[in-house]
Structure formats: C-alpha cells, structure tokens
Amino acid sequence: MQTEIDIEATPNNDVINDTINDETEADNNVEIEDIIIDADDSFQPDIFDPRYWDSLDSKQIDILAQKGPRRDLSIQKGQRDKYSRRFSSLFYNRILPNGELCDRDWLVYSKELDRVFCFGCKLFPKGHRKAERSFSKLKLLKSYLRSTMIQQRLTDLATIALESELLDKIEYDHIVEEFISRNTRRMKLFK
C-alpha cells in the first residue's frame, strides 16, 4: 500500500494541483465566512434591553414597537441606590382609586442599569417629533376652521337678521291683492 503520491510522476499534474488549490481555497473561504459571521454575531444587541434603545436603527425600532416591551418577571426587587431606594415588581401594577388593578405594560426595568424606563418615552425620544408636529398642525387647523366657521356663522346670522327685518316690513295682504289683480287681468286677456 502506497501512502505518498509522487505528484511529478503523475501525467495529470496540473489537474491535481488545481484540485488541491480549489479545495484549500474553499476551506479558507468557509473559515473566512465563519469569522465574518461570528464578527457580525458578536455585537447583536438585545433589542428588548433598554441599554441599547438609543443605538437602534429604524427597522429594529419598528420590530420592537410591534412586539412591545418585555419584562423580566423573575426580578422581584432591584438593587438599593445611595438613597436606599430600589425597584420592586409591585411597580408594574397600580391600584386605581376605583379599586381596579391597572397593568403598567409600558414600564420596563433594566437590571444592568438599575433603572426604570417608560417604553414609549425611551424608544421615541424628543428628537422624533413627527407626531407632535402632526398634533400642532391639527391644532392650527382646528383654530383656522373655528375662526373661518365663526366668520361664516356671523355672516349667516347677519343675513338671517336682514331677512327677518325685511319680512317684518312686508305687507302680505297688499302682495296677495296685487297678485290676484294681475292674475285676473291676465285671465281676461287670454279669454
């Protein structure tokens, strides 16, 4: 049994060298792709962790907004701060004055930062004011419509007042008699 192959003795020397080179290049490419994939996977922030919400792109924000906040329900109490305050899981719920229990599903606690965040406030900071602009435009539109509607209403009320004054001055009996007299004249002409 021969374990070594004499490459120079084989007639298809170029074919064997090409095959060996292709296999090693393929192995190297696979290793490089694995390294690139590992490099990409090394920093995939957890989009549900409030620490990374400032650095999310718009697609990740859309995904997070659709899926909503996630809570770590295993945390009952957080660490104490310098004022001896700490987070408690009781903050996730609130008892309303009517006795109803209200779930604060928008409340998110970060164990690593030891802070509580409002989901919507943290995810959409003040820099994203498209909604506020829309509301301010609606407010302007509302005031514009009110002012124009008020002006139109005043015009309509003035017209109604003038019409009622004119109607008060008109003598109906005189108009009816005039109408009858003209119709009788016409009737006589056509007979």
pLDDT of res. 26: 46
CA gap 122, 11 in Å, rounded: 71
The β-bridge partners of 116 are 109
CA gap 142, 124 in Å, rounded: 26
pLDDT of res. 98: 92
pLDDT of res. 33: 43
The β-bridge partners of 107 are 118
pLDDT of the chain, 191 residues: tens digit per residue = 444 444 444 444 444 444 444 444 444 444 444 444 444 455 566 777 887 887 778 888 888 888 888 877 777 787 787 888 877 888 888 888 998 988 888 888 888 888 888 888 877 766 655 655 666 677 777 787 777 777 788 888 889 999 988 888 888 888 888 888 888 777 676 66
Give the distance, in angstroms, between the CA of residue 102 and the centroid of all CA atoms in the same chain.
24
Q: What CA–CA distances, in Å, run from 52 to 20, 66, 88, 127?
A: 47, 17, 23, 17
Give the distance, in angstroms, between the CA of residue 57 and the centroid of all CA atoms in the same chain.
14
CA gap 186, 188 in Å, rounded: 5
The count of other CB atoms within 10 Å of the CB of residue 75 is 13
The β-bridge partners of 103 are 93
The count of other CB atoms within 10 Å of the CB of residue 51 is 13
- Nearest-Å Rg of the Cα atoms of the chain is 42
Alpha-helix runs per DSSP H in 58-171: 58-67, 119-123, 130-169
pLDDT of res. 159: 92
SS3 73: coil
Identify whether the C-beta of residue 111 lies closer than 8 Å to the C-beta of residue 50.
no
Q: Are strands 107-110 and 101-103 parallel, antiparallel or unpaired?
A: unpaired
Domain boundaries, the chain: 11-42, 70-123, 130-190
